[in-house]
Structure 1
Amino acid sequence: MTQPFPFPVPRRTVLQALGASAAAAAWPSLAQAQAKGKPISIGLPIAQSGPAGVADHADYLNGAKLAAKQINAAGGVKGRPIELRVVDIDIMTPEGTQAAFRKLIDAKVQAIASPFVLIPVPAMTTVANYKAPYLHGNTQQASLDLVRKNPKRYDHIYQIDPPETFYGAGFPLFCEQMEASGAWKPVNRKVHIVTEQIAYTQTITQSAEAQFKARGKYEVAKVTQIQFPVQDWGPVMQDLKRTGAGVIMINHWVAAELAAFAKQFAANPVPGALVYLQYGPSQPEFLTLAGPAAEGMVWGTVYGVYADKQGQTFRDQYKAEYLSKGGVMGLVYTGGGYDTVQLLANAWAQAEPENFAAVNQAIKRLRYRGVNGHYRFDNPNQAPLHYPLETQKLEEGIAHLFFQVQGGQHRIIAPEVLKESAFKAAPWMK
Structure 2
Amino acid sequence: MASRMEPTPMADTWDGREFCVQVSACGAPGPAESGRWASVPAGLRRIAAAALSEGLRYCQFYWRGGGSEPMCAVRIELSTNGGIEIALLAGELASALPYDVSRRELDVLTLLTTGAGNNEIAAILHLSPRTVTTHVDSIMRKLQVRSRTAAATRAVDEGLLGAPISGAEAALGGTRLGRVLSGTSARVSSPRATLRRLHRRPLVIGAALPSSGLGASDAAEMLKGLQLAQAEINGAGGIHGRRVDIEVADLDIDDRASTRKAISALADRGVDVLTSGYVAHQDAAHDEAAATGIPYLHAATSGVMERRVSDDPARYARILQVCPSDIHYAPAFVRFVDRLTRRRLLPRPSSTLVCIQQSSWELIDFGTSQAQVLADQHGWDLEVVNVSGAEGWVPATQRALAYSPTAVFVGSYFLDHHVDVVETVRGAGAGCLLYSIYAPSVPEFRERLGPAAEGVVWATTTGTYSDAVAAGFAARYAAKFGSTPGRSHAGLAYDRTHLIAQAWSRADNARDAAQVARHLRTATHRGVNGAYSFHPVTGVAAGFDDTGGDPSLAQAHVVYQIQGGRQEIIAPRPYTTATFRTPDWITAASGS
Normalized against structure 2, the TM-score is what?
0.63
For the residue of structure 1 that corresponds to 2:240, the secondary structure is: coil
- Residue 529 of structure 2 is matched in structure 1 by 372
- Residue 39 of structure 1 is matched in structure 2 by 202
Q: Deviations over 1:316-354 (max 9, x none)?
A: 221222235xxx532111011101110010011111221
Which of these residues, 459, 484, 490, is aligned with residue 300 of structure 1?
A: 459
- Residue 314 of structure 1 is matched in structure 2 by 473
The structural deviation recorded for 1:406 is 0.7
Distance 1:391 1:353, change over 3 A: farther
Q: RCO (CA 8 Å, sep 6+): is it higher in 1 or 2? A: 1
Matched, 1:227 2:388: yes
Alpha-carbon distance in 1 for matches of 2:315, 2:328: 26
For the residue of structure 2 that corresponds to 1:95, the secondary structure is: helix
Alpha-carbon distance in 2 for matches of 1:236, 1:364: 41
Alpha-carbon distance in 2 for matches of 1:343, 1:188: 46
Distance 1:309 1:369, change over 3 A: same
Matched, 1:250 2:413: no
- Residue 438 of structure 2 is matched in structure 1 by 279
Distance 1:284 1:299, change over 3 A: same
Unmatched runs of 5 consecutive residues or more in structure 2: 1-76, 81-198, 588-592
The structural deviation recorded for 1:362 is 1.3
State how 1:2-13 maps to structure 2 within 5 Å. Answer: none
The structural deviation recorded for 1:193 is 2.0
Alpha-carbon distance in 2 for matches of 1:228, 1:280: 18
Q: Residues 43 and 84 of structure 1 are in contact (CA less than 8 Å); yes or no, is this contact kept in structure 2?
A: yes
Q: Residues 183 and 422 of structure 1 are in contact (CA less than 8 Å); yes or no, is this contact kept in structure 2?
A: no
Distance 1:169 1:83, change over 3 A: same
- Residue 89 of structure 1 is matched in structure 2 by 251
Distance 1:370 1:175, change over 3 A: same
Q: Residues 301 and 402 of structure 1 are in contact (CA less than 8 Å); yes or no, is this contact kept in structure 2?
A: yes
| Residue identity in the other structure for 1:64 | L
The structural deviation recorded for 1:214 is 5.0
Alpha-carbon distance in 1 for matches of 2:392, 2:380: 31
- Residue 565 of structure 2 is matched in structure 1 by 408
For the residue of structure 1 that corresponds to 2:402, the secondary structure is: helix
| Residue identity in the other structure for 2:490 | T
- Residue 502 of structure 2 is matched in structure 1 by 346
For the residue of structure 1 that corresponds to 2:531, the secondary structure is: strand
Q: Deviations over 1:133-184 (max 9, x none)?
A: 1000011012212221111111000000111101122211222333455533
The structural deviation recorded for 1:415 is 0.7
Unmatched runs of 5 consecutive residues or more in structure 1: 1-6, 11-35
Alpha-carbon distance in 2 for matches of 1:215, 1:311: 37
The structural deviation recorded for 1:384 is 1.5
For the residue of structure 2 that corresponds to 1:167, the secondary structure is: helix
| Residue identity in the other structure for 2:442 | Q
Alpha-carbon distance in 1 for matches of 2:255, 2:512: 32
| Residue identity in the other structure for 2:324 | P
For the residue of structure 2 that corresponds to 1:203, the secondary structure is: coil
The structural deviation recorded for 1:284 is 2.0
State how 1:20-39 maps to structure 2 within 5 Å. Answer: 37-39=200-202
For the residue of structure 1 that corresponds to 2:410, the secondary structure is: strand
Greater shift, 385-394 or 163-172, is seen at: 385-394
Alpha-carbon distance in 1 for matches of 2:547, 2:555: 10
Runs of 4+ in structure 1 off by over 4 angstroms are 7-10, 229-232
Normalized against structure 1, the TM-score is what?
0.85
Q: Residues 357 and 385 of structure 2 are in contact (CA less than 8 Å); yes or no, is this contact kept in structure 1?
A: yes
Matched, 1:356 2:518: no
Alpha-carbon distance in 2 for matches of 1:62, 1:320: 12
Alpha-carbon distance in 2 for matches of 1:240, 1:342: 42
- Residue 128 of structure 1 is matched in structure 2 by 290
Alpha-carbon distance in 2 for matches of 1:127, 1:85: 15
Q: How many corresponding residue pairs?
A: 392
Q: Residues 115 and 336 of structure 1 are in contact (CA less than 8 Å); yes or no, is this contact kept in structure 2?
A: no
| Residue identity in the other structure for 2:293 | K
Which of these residues, 377, 401, 423, is aligned with residue 263 of structure 1?
A: 423
The structural deviation recorded for 1:299 is 0.8
- Residue 212 of structure 2 is matched in structure 1 by 49
Distance 1:86 1:247, change over 3 A: same
Aligned CA-pair RMSD: 2.4
Alpha-carbon distance in 1 for matches of 2:393, 2:282: 30
For the residue of structure 2 that corresponds to 1:276, the secondary structure is: strand
Alpha-carbon distance in 1 for matches of 2:534, 2:248: 25
State how 1:13-162 maps to structure 2 within 5 Å. Answer: 37-50=200-213, 52-162=214-324
